[in-house]
Structure 1
Amino acid sequence: MIAGVDASAIALALGAGLVAAVNPCGFALLPAYLSLFVIKDAPPTRRGAVLRALRASLALTIGFSAVFVTFGLVIAPVASGIQAYLPIFTAVLGLALLAVGIWVALGRALPSFRLPRRKGAAPKPVTATWPSMIGFGASYAVASIGCTIAPFLAVVVTAFRSDSAAAGLVLFVLYALGMGLTVAVAATATALARRGLINSMRRMGGGLPRIAGAVLALAGAYVAWYGIWELRVLHGDAGSDPIVEAAAGVQRWLADAAGTLGVVGLGVALVVLLAVTFLRRRRSAPVRD
C-alpha cells in the first residue's frame, strides 16, 4: 500500500487513467492531438521530434488532469445541471477542429502565437506553445467528462473528501500517470514513425502537413457528430448510430489494448521507444579522433 491507500483503489485509479485517453466521448481527439502537436511542424531530427512529443504529452496530461480535479472537487455537486451542456461544447470543439483541419489541409499556415521573448527570437507557432497544448488537453478533458468522470469521482474525489487528503493526492497522481503514459507511448511512436513518413512525403511533393490537416479535420468531424448525437440522445430523439457504433468498436479495441498492456507494458514500450531513439542516435554519430 502507498500512504495508506488500498491496493484495489490504486489499481482502479491506474486503470481508469490508462483508458481515459481513449474514452468513447473523446478518443477521436487523440489523432487530432497527434496531428497538431506531434506531426505538424515537428523538429526534423529524430531526437527533437521525440522530445517534442514527450513535452506535448506532459502538457496534454496537465490540462486534462487539471480539468478533472477541478470538476471533481468543485463542480461535481452541481454536475447534473452542467452535464446537459457538455455535448454542446463537444460539438463546437469538433466543428472548430474541422475548420482548422480544412485550413491546414488546404496548405494554409496556422497563426503564430507571440509570447514575450528574447530580442531577435522568432515567434513560436501556436501548436508549439505550452498554453496551446495545455488548452487542448483541457478541451480534451471537457469533451471526455461525460464518459470518464464516474470512475474518477468514485476513486480520486472520494479519497480527497475522506479523512486522508494524502490518499486522494496519491490516487490523483496515479490517475494522471496512467493517462499520460498512454498518450506518451502513442505520441513517441508517432514521432518515430514520422521520419519514414517524411521521406515518403518528400517523394510525393511534401504533402505531410496537408495529411495532418486532413486527419485533424476527420477527427473534428467525428467529435462534432458525436456531440450532436449526444444532444439528440438527451432529448430522446436518437437511437443507435452507425458512425458512432463503428467508432465505438475501435475505441473498445484501443481501451482493451491499453488495459491488457497495463502500466508495466506501456512503461516498457515507452522505454524501448526512447532507447531506439537515443541509442540509434549515438551509433550514427560520427567518431571523432
Structure 2
Amino acid sequence: MLVALAAGMLAAVNPCGFALLPAYLGFLVLDDRDDGKGHEVRNAIKLTAAMTVGFAAVFGIFGLVVAPLAGSIQQHLPWFTIVLGFALAGCGGWLLAGRALPTIKLPTGKGPITRSPASMVAFGASYAVASIGCTIGPFLAIVVGSFRANDPLEGVALYLAYAAGMGITVGVAAVSVALARQGIVSKLRNAGRLIPRLAGALMVAVGAYVAYYGRYELRGATRDPIIDTVDDLQRTLANALERIGAPTIAVALVAVVAAAAVLTRRRRQKERAEGT
C-alpha cells in the first residue's frame, strides 16, 4: 500500500506531465473574487478531487483494458501531447488578450465560477494520457500485476492508494496556492485583469513546453537543453517528495487546510467586529 501510495505521489510530478501541474495551479487563480469565506480553498479541494478522478480513471482503463495493446497505442501518445500543448497555449493566449474563459453558474445561483468539476475531470484525464509514457510501468507492476495475480480486492485497494498518492501531492500544492491567493487577490484587486493575464502567460509557456515535449518524444532524441533543464527541476522535486514520504505529505495537506480554516474564521470575526 505504501509503495502504491508513493508511486501515485511521484506520478503527479512525472517527466512527461510535469509541466501540466503549474497549468492546473494557474486555473485556481483565475477567479478574482475574494469574499473571505474560504471558497478558494474549498474549490481547490473539490477541483483537485475531480482532477484526481479523471487521472485515476484513465490509468484504470489503460491498465486493465488497453494494456495488451499498449505498444501500438503508446507510440501515438506524443501526438496527443502536442495537441494538448497547443490547446493550453491557445487558452493562455485567450486570457492574455483580456478575454475570460467560459463560465458556468453555481447551482445556488449565487454567481459564476470559471472552472467546473467536469472540466477538471477532463483535465485530469488529459494529464494522465500525457503522463502514461513515463508512469505506466510502475502502475502496471504495482497495481495491475497484483490485481491480476492476487485477490481483486487487493488490486482495488492498491489502485485507490495510487490515486490517493497523486491526489494528496496535487492537493497540497493546490490548497497552498488557494490559501496564498486570498491575500494576493485582495492586494491586486485594483489591477483589473492582471491575475487572469498572468495565468494566461503561464498557460502559454506551459502549452508551448508540452507541445515541444511531445515533439521531442516523436524525434526520439536523447539530449535537448530545454528538456534537460526541466527534467533536472522535475527530478529534484521528485527526489524531495520521495524523501519526505507520503504520510508527511498527507499531514501537510491536513495542516494547510486547517490553517485555511483558522484564517478564514479570523477574517470573519474581524469583519463582524468592524461591522459592529
TM over 0.5: yes
SS at match of 1:111: coil
Output aligned runs, 1:194-273, within 5 Å.
194-202=181-189, 204-233=191-220, 238-273=221-256
In structure 2, what is the equivalent of residue 25 of structure 1? 16
C-alpha distance in structure 1 between counterparts of 2:160 and 2:60, whole Å? 11
Q: Identify which range, 253-262 or 84-93, moves more after superposition.
A: 253-262
C-alpha distance in structure 2 between counterparts of 1:212 and 1:142, whole Å? 23
Q: 2:180 aligns with which of 177, 193, 201?
A: 193
In structure 2, what is the equivalent of residue 283 of structure 1? 266
In structure 2, runs of 5+ residues without a counterpart are none
In structure 2, what is the equivalent of residue 155 of structure 1? 142
Deviations 1:230-270 (A, max 9, x none): 0011xxxx331111000001111111122122122112211
Q: 2:131 aligns with which of 144, 155, 174?
A: 144
The one-letter amino acid of 2:84's match is L
Q: Is 1:40 aligned to residue 30 of structure 2?
A: yes
C-alpha distance in structure 1 between counterparts of 2:121 and 2:134, whole Å? 20
Aligned-pair CA distance for 1:274: 1.3
C-alpha distance in structure 2 between counterparts of 1:268 and 1:114, whole Å? 34
In structure 1, runs of 5+ residues without a counterpart are 1-9
C-alpha distance in structure 1 between counterparts of 2:184 and 2:105, whole Å? 30
Pair 198,282 (structure 1): closer, same or farther in 2 beyond 3 Å: closer
The one-letter amino acid of 1:260's match is R
Q: 1:166 aligns with which of 133, 153, 156?
A: 153
Q: CA RMSD of the aligned region, Å?
A: 2.1
- The alignment's TM-score, normalised by the length of structure 1, stands at 0.88
In structure 1, what is the equivalent of residue 47 of structure 2? 56
- Contact 1:112-1:123 at 8 Å conserved across structures: no
- The alignment's TM-score, normalised by the length of structure 2, stands at 0.92
C-alpha distance in structure 2 between counterparts of 1:99 and 1:59, whole Å? 23
Q: Identify which range, 148-157 or 194-203, moves more after superposition.
A: 194-203
The one-letter amino acid of 1:262's match is G
- Aligned-pair identity (%): 48
Output aligned runs, 1:98-109, within 5 Å.
98-109=89-100
Q: 1:274 aligns with which of 257, 261, 265?
A: 257
Aligned length: 271
Aligned-pair CA distance for 1:203: 5.1
- Contact 1:22-1:251 at 8 Å conserved across structures: yes
C-alpha distance in structure 2 between counterparts of 1:69 and 1:113, whole Å? 29
In structure 1, what is the equivalent of residue 87 of structure 2? 96
Aligned-pair CA distance for 1:205: 4.4
